Structure 1
Amino acid sequence: MNQQSFRPLAKVIRASVAIFLIASLSGCSVFSGIGNLFGSSVKKPQPAELQPVVALVPAKLIWSARIGEVSFPLQVSVVADTVVVASTDGSVAALDARTGRDFWRTNVGAPIAAGVGSDGKLSAVVTRSNDVVALAGGKELWRQKLAAQAFTSPFVAGGRVFVLAADRSVNAFDGQTGRKLWSQQRPSEPLVLRQSGVMLAVGDTLVVGLAGRLAGLNPLNGSVRWEVPIASPRGINDVERLVDLVGTVSRNGNTVCARAFQANVGCVDAQRGTLLWTKPANGAQGVDGDDHLIFGTEADGKVMAWLRADGEAAWNTDRLRYRNLTAPLVVGRSIAMGDSAGYVHLLSRTDGSLLNRLTTDGSAVTVTPVLAGNTLIAVTRSGAVFGYAPE
């Protein structure tokens, strides 16, 4: 989306129906958005009080590092034992997941809006000035200008860099030279989320979230192989009709399960391009899962589990209500998620019971945790990176 497209957004936000959009764009909860709009007369729900925890899944901090403040939708990239992170000020670093030490560190010379995508050799970010910057070993290989802003991390695979922009375009660049290979433009809407979208590979298909639909593209030329709706626009104005798929997603074989922002959770067969199921869900963060369940966090902090086979509810827990949770991550027999007070919570995959609680630096954990080998990694808004390992 170009800068001009943001002007209608500022006008629309005056309406109460824009509450859910403010929540995503500002990093606040839905309820803090309400307070900001209507003043202190609206009392915000208080975060659920944390109960004492017995560490049924013991874990210890083995290292910490710093990257710099993170105020954009960072997606941490993991390839084998390499973890690639970035900060708002333009810093990009590849860390050893076992020790936290730098493999390399550099600065792209401009604030970052989206990243990091990496295949272990080539890494890519998008700057706020709409430049795609490709790095190898911490050295810049090339940069190319996009026609619109991007909030989704580039996807690096097959010697190419794929970028989903806010104008609903998908662009493919040669990984070594930066030459644009193709661009697929879809109809654009007046508003999009300043939030990570969906882009991944399933076999020889590039799967991309375009508005409320998952689309399968031919990575060689950008042609559309299939499109499947997870959610459809509804309402009478631009804000009410906004629909977007948000990262992260859960992939199991050819099945990809994703969330449409504050609308639905659904699963798609990405080989055949068919919808398996959708269920209403009021969340703003992505999902994760295993071969049996899909896990997600709702806008009010309720943690949900759905059956992967048909989307029926398996369990839910409200022990973390109003704590501004990240998307969950499956870690062994747990699911891990961060909160706005700087904790990483480990809940049971079986029933949502609390298994452990890990501390960071007290700054909000706004980045979905990742797993590198046996190391659980959390990044805080202040730019601290923590590596935890089971005891």
Structure 2
Amino acid sequence: MFLPTWTRWLTIASLGVLSACSSAPEKPQPAPLPALSGAFKVQKVWSNQVGVVNTPLFASVHGQQLAVASTSGQLALLDASSGRDVWRLNLGAPIQAGVGGDGQRFAVVTQNNELVAVESGRVIWRQALSALSYTPPLVAGERVFVLTGDRAVTAFDGATGQKLWTQQRPGDPLVLRQAGLLMPVGDQLLVGWGGRLVALNPLTGAVRWETLIGTTRGTNEVERLVDLVAGVSRSGNSVCVRAFQASVACLDGLNGRVAWSRSAQGHQGLDGDGQTLWGVESDSKVLAWQRATGAPLWTQDALRFRGLSLPLAWSRTLVVGDQDGWVHFLSPSDGQALQRISTDGSAITGKPVAAGQTLVVVTRTGGVFGFRPE
């Protein structure tokens, strides 16, 4: 049986680590690179370097600027049009989760369980956390919100770092060692707690509603693990989410009413527009669903076992990165391979992002690359 790469991203909440069995079958070989239609032209316009990324870090986009980070502690704000540094800061401690930001303030969590807030290239405050976090902090409404591995959500004042409130659910035996769901919708804070999507009052932490998205199953703790993962597609009030290795669902983000739910074997989030939702399964099949009903539209398996990243709908294409540093441009309507371009040979991390007219990807060895249509 194929042992998926997500087994490396499980951890016991009380500090123990769960690793894959050394006698597991060899991983299947990636599919040959598919032929290209050449219907889309793209070129690399700049590159930069931030440092090795081997923790769950994401780029944070704000207009024509984006913040990126390395595991070793580098945090940089880049100009997306040129790739040049606006500012760069060495935090002096390894970074575990980030980057969160609102364009003015940025926040990361270090491996020392410390929340660090930065403004204009300097640290403005630090706060100790109750546990390690794998989810980028959310900076919104003059506050910083953090989801930690012990299922606690904590709000801090954005200017001073003062703790404002904490809301917590009982911890599960296992939690994912990857980014979870934490996002604002209207005047609510949405958070993934296990298989449930919960809406909190951002001023007090009080629970407003909760909806079951993924249910536990299996005969052991690993098989029963369920969690909502980072990578949410929002269109108006429609919010579409993935429960780890269980399901994909779309619901009303204001009241939690589920429009549809389908079984799906993926471990990363989604992207979409008003009509279509796209996702990548754990074996790197790319799937598309009708957003309103969940009806399957197409499946593309030409990139199977290539370790694909989260998808991004960009410039009339669907973009995914792979474990060998290729950036693939697919047709959003049928998944056909339109174009691909190389980076530095190391895996694309996090999710490709769009800043203005520029597509940006970050690699495992810390390369930051900007692309634009020709």
Per the normalisation by structure 2, the TM-score is 0.95
Q: How does 1:27-66 map to 2 (within 5 A)?
A: 37-38=22-23, 42-66=25-49
Q: How does 1:1-391 map to 2 (within 5 A)?
A: 21-25=6-10, 37-38=22-23, 42-391=25-374
Residue 51 of structure 1: CA displacement?
2.8
Residue 44 of structure 1: CA displacement?
2.7
Letter in 2 for 1:126: V
| C-alpha separation in 1, matches of 2:198 and 2:2 | 28
Q: CA offsets per residue over residues 101-130 of structure 1, 9 Å max, x none?
A: 111000111101000001000000000010
Tell me if structure 1 keeps the 8 A contact 2:309–2:349.
yes
| C-alpha separation in 1, matches of 2:150 and 2:368 | 32
Q: Which runs of 4+ in 1 moved over 6 A?
A: 16-20
| C-alpha separation in 2, matches of 1:23 and 1:127 | 20
Q: Secondary structure at the match of 1:98?
A: coil
Residue 25 of structure 1: CA displacement?
4.6
Residue 21 of structure 1: CA displacement?
5.0
| C-alpha separation in 2, matches of 1:258 and 1:240 | 20
Q: Secondary structure at the match of 1:22?
A: helix
Q: CA offsets per residue over residues 249-271 of structure 1, 9 Å max, x none?
A: 10011111011111000011011
Question: Residues 20 and 360 (structure 1 numbering): CA distance in 2 closer, same or farther, change over 3 Å?
Answer: closer
Tell me if structure 1 keeps the 8 A contact 2:34–2:303.
no
Q: CA offsets per residue over residues 186-235 of structure 1, 9 Å max, x none?
A: 11101101101111111111111111111111100111111111101122
| C-alpha separation in 2, matches of 1:340 and 1:353 | 20
| C-alpha separation in 1, matches of 2:6 and 2:369 | 30
Q: CA offsets per residue over residues 305-362 of structure 1, 9 Å max, x none?
A: 0111111111011010000001100102211010001001011110101111011011
Letter in 2 for 1:341: D
Tell me if structure 1 keeps the 8 A contact 2:2–2:28.
no
Partner of 1:9: none
Q: CA offsets per residue over residues 136-178 of structure 1, 9 Å max, x none?
A: 0110000101111100000000100000001110000000100
| C-alpha separation in 1, matches of 2:81 and 2:327 | 19
Tell me if structure 2 keeps the 8 A contact 1:294–1:305.
yes
Tell me if structure 2 keeps the 8 A contact 1:338–1:367.
no
Tell me if structure 2 keeps the 8 A contact 1:343–1:360.
yes
Per the normalisation by structure 1, the TM-score is 0.91
Residue 47 of structure 1: CA displacement?
0.2
Q: CA offsets per residue over residues 348-389 of structure 1, 9 Å max, x none?
A: 110101111011011111221000011000100000000001
Q: Secondary structure at the match of 2:22?
A: helix
Tell me if structure 2 keeps the 8 A contact 1:18–1:240.
no
Tell me if structure 1 keeps the 8 A contact 2:235–2:274.
yes
Residue 56 of structure 1: CA displacement?
1.4
Tell me if structure 2 keeps the 8 A contact 1:17–1:240.
no
| C-alpha separation in 1, matches of 2:103 and 2:192 | 24
Residue 79 of structure 1: CA displacement?
0.4
Letter in 1 for 2:67: V
Residue 18 of structure 1: CA displacement?
8.7
Letter in 2 for 1:22: T
Greater shift after overlay, 324-333 or 128-137? Answer: 324-333
Letter in 1 for 2:45: I
| C-alpha separation in 2, matches of 1:350 and 1:235 | 35
| C-alpha separation in 2, matches of 1:167 and 1:275 | 27
Letter in 2 for 1:57: F
Q: Secondary structure at the match of 2:9?
A: helix
Partner of 2:14: none
* Identity score, percent: 52
| C-alpha separation in 2, matches of 1:277 and 1:253 | 16
| C-alpha separation in 2, matches of 1:372 and 1:174 | 27
Q: Secondary structure at the match of 1:367?
A: strand
Residue 236 of structure 1: CA displacement?
3.4
Identify the structure with the greater helix proportion.
Answer: 1
